[in-house]
Amino acid sequence: MTVLLVGADKLGNMPKELEDHGASEIIHWSGRKEKNKDIPRNVDLILVVHDFVSHALMDSVKGQAKRRRLPIVFAKRGVAGLKQVLKNEK
């Protein structure tokens, strides 16, 4: 599974948590200076760390995900928020 991680300046333990959840590839967009990027075709899940992403990029990603019917989840900062979101995703 390929995960697009949008937001978060430093990933810390997030890649390990995503790998434990089944991610084989993680694509990271920092979320602050980026906007209007196209979601890669091979993405299976989008994770937005909403404390660290610009509104313009979040709106763009949400729109693309909706049009392509990709699952999108939102987490607060840090691994604790990510764990909770992934737990609810199963």
CATH of the domain at 41: 3.40.50
Entry pTM: 0.85
The answer to whether the beta carbons of residues 45 and 73 sit under 8 Å apart is: yes
Name the residue range of residue 73's domain. 2-89
- 């299976």: which residue's tokens? 44
Task: Provide the pairing of β-strand 2-6 with 25-29.
Answer: parallel
Per-residue pLDDT tens digits of the chain, which is 90 residues long? 999 999 877 788 888 888 988 899 999 988 777 777 899 999 999 998 877 788 888 889 999 999 999 999 888 776 767 777 777 665
Q: How many domains does the chain have?
A: 1
